[in-house]
Each structure stands twice: as structure tokens, then as C-alpha cells.
Amino acid sequence: MNKKIIAAAVAATMTSVAFADISITGAAKVNYTNTQYADTTADDNHFTQEMDLKVKGKSGDTEVVINFGGGALDGDSINGNTATKNDSAGGTVATGNQMNVEDAYVSTKVNGISIKAGTWDDGNNYLRESARKAGKFEAKTSVGPINLSYGARSSGADSESYGVSTTTGGVTLGYTKKATSDEVKVSGSFAGISAEYHGIDADAANSDKSSIVLSTTLDGIGVKVGKASADSSVYIGGDSWMGDFEESSAVLQNGQDVTAVEDSTSIAGNKVAYRNIEVDDVASSDMTYNKIIVTRPLASGTTFELTYTQLDDDGVTNEKEDVLDLELSVGF
């Protein structure tokens, strides 16, 4: 759709504010995936697509942002059947060939306080999946070197949160108080090694989680080592380089820990990475991922990415599989 038409349509719905600046950005990707199983199960081949569009209107310190997202599975879904994908709560959301409103929020500043209200994704980390809730509110400000934050949403066990953070001596320290847990984050660099720690101290018994990641560069090779640990009553649900465990087919069991190593470098204009991911500490449910990822920008403005994965999963019938994923993506 023509950008001017979209911009005019969005502006027409905001009659109370005359926005001086409207921008439209987006991204799209198409994937072909082939999965080969070690037993007699037939190979699986399918195409997926995902598209995102962000419309931003800005006037002074005030912004209105609307994110649209959608995708489809295989040709049949594109031609009229409804495709679905897993959401962060374990249910399904329709994708088909429609664009759904994912985020819609207003942000502004009032007397030095940054305010944000609406619906938005709070992002992934090494320990938990992302969450998108309606009726959210956030306020942030700074008092000298101290950053303060307050968050609220209309429902949920942790409907309110209070945060404080600061940076001292090159180390960033953060603490967040929620109704059912306390979270601590520490990050910094020491002698050329970057370190990140995230700990969740939950009120419920046996429900703590933590992660630590170390990274550095040795003779032109990037090296990362990570460990995510969960107590016996909770699971790791993060989506990161250490593994995508938020989809229902990959949700880990309570108490399973994740250990990962990545080596990356550039070869002839390609970024090449190798990852080894081990999931263990629950009997008969160990998982091992070995991944090779090759990424290359193309002259057309798109980016090509090849990912080859060997998976050995003790917890399923088809415990061994090889997955080849070819992706074309573009951002604008």
C-alpha cells in the first residue's frame, strides 16, 4: 500500500492532535524449512512468511505508535485458509494473510517524566518469553545518576512494578520489585570481557531463575558463553541466541537448565556462527542443539540467512532430526 495513503488514514483517526512528523518502517521475511527425521517419519517441508509494519506519528515530545504484524504458513494458508501460530500464553493466534494490530501506544514527557500508555511487547530475555498485555502504563524519570521507573497493567499477578537502576564505574545495576518476585540485573565489562547477570527471586517455593552470559573477542573470533538455570517449579521460556523456547513445541520442562556456547566470525563477506546448546537436569529429557548459521547481505537490499540445526531430544519419540532453514529478509 502506498505510504501516503497509510499515513493519511492514520492521521485522519487522530483528530485531536496535528502531528508534524509521520514515519513508516517495516520488515518482512520468508523462510523455507526442511526437516529430516532419523526414524521413518516423512520429511517435512514448508514455507512461512512474516511481515511487520510500524506507523509512528510525532509532535514535540509526544508519539503515537501502531505496529501491525502478520504472516502465513504454506501456500494453502495464503490462498484463503487460516494459519495459526503459538502466542506467549501457549494458545494460538490467527495469522493467515491478514495484518493484526500488535502494539498501539502513546508516549510523552510531563515535567521531566517519560510516560507511556497502551499495548506493547515487553521483549524477550534469557529467562522468559515476551508478553503483550493491553492497558499498560509506564513512567520513568531520573534523579541525578539514579533512574526510577513505575509500571502497571490492568490485570495479572505482577500488575505493578517499581524499578531503580544506575551506572557506576562502568557497571550497570538494576533492581525491580514486583508483587510476586524481585529481579536483579548487573552488566558491565571487565578486562575485555562483557558480563550480564539476571536473577529472579520469586516468592513461590522453588521458582527462582537466573542467567549469566560472558562474551569477548579472541583473535577476531567472537565468543559467548551462557547459562540459564531454573528451580524445580519453573521453566526457562526465553527467546535468544541461547535458544527459542517460547513456542509450544520447544517449551522446556520445569527445572531444566540451558548451557550455550557460540563462536562467530566473518568469512568472505559472510557472518558465520556456530552454537552448541545443551538442555539438561531433568531425567530422560536432555536436549542437544548444534547450529551453523551463515548470514550474508545481498545486493538487492535483502539479507540471506542459512541455518542448519542438528537436534537430539531424549524427551520425544523422533528424538533426532536435521533442520535446514533458508531465510530472505528485508527492512525498510
Which sign, positive or negative, has the C-alpha torsion 83, 88, 90, 91? negative
Q: For position 103, what pLDDT does the model report?
A: 93
C-alpha cell at 94: 490467527
Asked if residues 66 and 54 have their Cβ atoms less than 8 Å apart, the reply is: yes
Neighbours of 14 (CB within 10 A): 14
Q: Is 289 exposed, middle or buried (0-12, 13-18, 19+ CB in 10 A)?
A: buried
Instruction: Give pairs for 267-270: CB < 8 Å, separation 24+.
Output: 269/296, 269/297, 270/294, 270/295, 270/296
Asked if residues 215 and 222 have their Cβ atoms less than 8 Å apart, the reply is: yes
Render pLDDT for 173-228 as a digit per residue (tens, 0 to 9): 999 999 899 999 999 999 999 999 999 999 999 999 999 999 999 999 999 999 99
43, amino acid identity: D
Neighbours of 204 (CB within 10 A): 12
Residue 54 pLDDT > 50: yes
Q: For position 83, what pLDDT does the model report?
A: 40
Q: For position 97, what pLDDT does the model report?
A: 56
Q: Which residue do the cell numbers 548451557 mark?
A: 259
- Distances in Å between the Cα of 229 and the Cα atoms of 127, 193, 254, 257, 330 are 8, 21, 10, 5, 35
Q: Is 91 exposed, middle or buried (0-12, 13-18, 19+ CB in 10 A)?
A: exposed
**End-to-end CA separation in angstroms for the chain:** 14
Render pLDDT for 57-74 as a digit per residue (tens, 0 to 9): 999 999 999 999 987 654
Q: Which residues of 94-124 are buried (b: 16+ CB within 10 A; e: fewer)?
A: ebbbebeebbebebeeeeeeebbebbbebeb
pTM: 0.80
- Cα separation, 210 vs 314, whole angstroms: 24
Q: For position 318, what pLDDT does the model report?
A: 64
Asked if residues 87 and 67 have their Cβ atoms less than 8 Å apart, the reply is: no
**For the chain, how big is the Rg over CA atoms in Å?**
22
Render pLDDT for 259-309 as a digit per residue (tens, 0 to 9): 999 999 999 999 999 999 999 977 777 889 999 999 999 988 999 999 999
C-alpha cell at 19: 502531528
Judged by average pLDDT, the poorest of 102-106, 107-111, 130-134, 225-229 is 130-134
Asked if residues 64 and 79 have their Cβ atoms less than 8 Å apart, the reply is: no
Q: What secondary structure letter does DSSP report for 189?
A: E
Q: What are the backbone dihedrals phi and psi of residue 95, each rounded to the nearest 5 degrees, phi first?
A: -115, -60
Q: For position 41, what pLDDT does the model report?
A: 75
